[in-house]
Amino acid sequence: MARITLDHLAHAYKPNPKGPRDYALKEINHVWSQGGAYALLGPSGCGKTTLLNIISGLVRPTRGRILFDDRDVTDLPTESRNIAQVFQFPVVYDTMTVRENLAFPLKNRHVPKERTAQRVEEIARLLDLTSVLDRKASNLTADMKQKISLGRGLVRPDVAAILFDEPLTVIDPHLKWQLRSTLKEIHRALDITMIYVTHDQTEALTFADKVVVMHDGAVVQTGTPDELFERPAHTFVGHFIGSPGMNILPCKVEGATAYLGSEALSLHRHYRSLGRTEQVELGIRPEFVQLQPKGAGLPARVRRIDDIGRARIARVEMNGRMLAASVPEELSVSGEEASLRFDPRHIHIYADGHLVAGEALGGQAA
C-alpha cells in the first residue's frame, strides 16, 4: 500500500528529445493518495499506457522520478516494486484449478498455507468464483478466465498498488456491469491504491474517485466525474467525456454576451478581454441544450432524431454547424424547423481550447 508520486516525469521513445513534440509523455507532476481509485482515460496514443508502464517499471522515464511513499523506485525493475497487474486478456494457468491459480501469487511469496487458503476463499467470494474453485481453469469461458485474472491481481494484500490495463475489454456487457460494481466494492474492502487504464469513459467515471484525462501525451484535466462533466477544463475533455460529447461552437464574446453568428446569447458570467486569443469557443453539453418548437429560441433545423431508449437526442444544424440537443419527453417533433434553448448556467467559454473562468455576475460567488 503506497502513495505514488510522479515527480517531473516525462518520456520520449526516441533518443535526444528536443521539443515537446518528441515526448510521448509530456511532463507530469502528480500525487496519488494511498488507497485511492484512479483512472487514466484517453484515446489510443494519448500516453496512458506509457504512463502505466513507467509506474509498473516496464519503461524507465527519460526524465523525472517516481516514488512509492518516500522510496524512489525509478530504477527498480517491475518485480522489486511490489505491484500487481491485470491485463486486457486473461493470464491464467490452464492446467491448474481456479483455487491454485488464485493461490499462485501467494505461494510464490511463501505466504503460510493457512493464510493463503483464507485469502483465496475471500477473493473467490468477492468475485463469485466459490462454486468453481476446484475446477480446472481450461474449461472455463473467457469471462470466467478474466475474473480469475482479476482475482490473481487482487489476492496479495501487501501490494503497493494494483494496475489494471483495460481489464474489461473482453467481457460481455452484462457481466461488465456486475464486475464494475464488484471492483468498486473490492476497492472499498481492501484499501489498496488502484490505477485503471481505459478508453471507455463509463468504466473510468464509474470506477474512479479521480479521473486523469490524457490527450496527446499530456494530462488535460484531473478531477472527479462531476467536475469533468460540469466544468471541462479543456474542449477535449468536453468532447471526450459525455455521450454525445459537448457541443463546441466558435463564437465572439463581449462582456456577458456571446455571439453565435448573428444571434446573441446572455451569459451568467462576465468575461473581460480574452487577450490575444486565436480562437474563442462556446461549450455546452447536449443535456443543457433543449430542442423547442420553432420560434422559442435560437433557430435551428432538425436533421435527425436518435432514440437511445431512455432518451431522444436531436442532431440539429445551426449556422451551418451540427450540434446535439436533448429532446424533452413531451415534445413531438415534426418537420425540420425548430429552435434551441441553451441553459446559461451551463455555458462555458474557451480560449484556444482552455476554459476561461470569467466573473460571476451580480457579485455572486463562482
Partner 1 sequence: MTLVLESVSKKVGASVHIDDVSLTLERGSLNVLLGATLSGKTSLMRLMAGLDVPTSGRVLVDGKDVTGLPVQRRSVAMVYQQFINYPSLSVYENIASPLRVARLSASEIEARVREAARLLQLELYLDRKPLNLSGGQQQRTAIARALVKRADLVLLDEPLANLDYKLREELREELPRIFAASGAVFVYATTEPSEALLLGGNTATLFEGRITQFGPTPEVYRRPQNLVTARVFSDPPLNTLTIRKTGALVSLSTGGQVRATDVLASVPDGDYTVGFRAHHLTLEPSGSDQIAIPASVSVAEITGSESFLHLDAGEHRFVSLVPGVRRLEPGTAVTAYLDPRHLLLFDPTGRLAAASTAQKAA
By C-beta, is 135 or 312 nearer to partner 1?
Answer: 312
CB of 349 to partner 1, least distance (A): 20
Instruction: State the cell numbers at 32.
Output: 496519488
> What is the nearest approach in angstroms of partner 1 to the Cβ of residue 162?
18
Q: Which is nearer to partner 1, 204 or 251 (CB)?
A: 204
Q: How far is the CB of 252 from partner 1 (least distance, A)?
A: 28
How far apart are CB 205 and partner 1 at their closest, in Å?
4
Separation of alpha carbons 20 and 4, rounded Å = 25
Nearer to partner 1, 133 or 170 (CB): 170
Chain contacts with partner 1 (rule: CB under 8 A): 43-45, 141-143, 172-174, 177-178, 180-181, 184-185, 188, 199-202, 205-207, 224-230, 239-245, 285, 287, 306-310, 315
Smaller CB separation from partner 1, 33 or 141: 141
Please tell me the distance from the alpha carbon of residue 253 to that of residue 265, in angstroms, as a whole number. 9
**Cα–Cα distance measured from residue 307 to residue 250, given in angstroms and rounded to the nearest whole number:** 28
Q: In the complex, what is the shortest distance from the CB of residue 35 to partner 1, in angstroms, rounded to a whole number? A: 16
Exposure of 322 by Cβ count < 10 A (0-12 exposed, 13-18 middle, 19+ buried)?
exposed
In whole angstroms, give the CA distance from residue 258 to residue 255. 8
**Amino acid letter for position 309:** G
Round to whole Å and give the CA distance between 154 and 151.
5
- E strand or H helix that includes residue 365: none
Give me the numbers of helices (H) and strands (E) for the chain, helices first please: 8, 22
Q: Nearer Cβ to partner 1, position 163 or 205?
A: 205
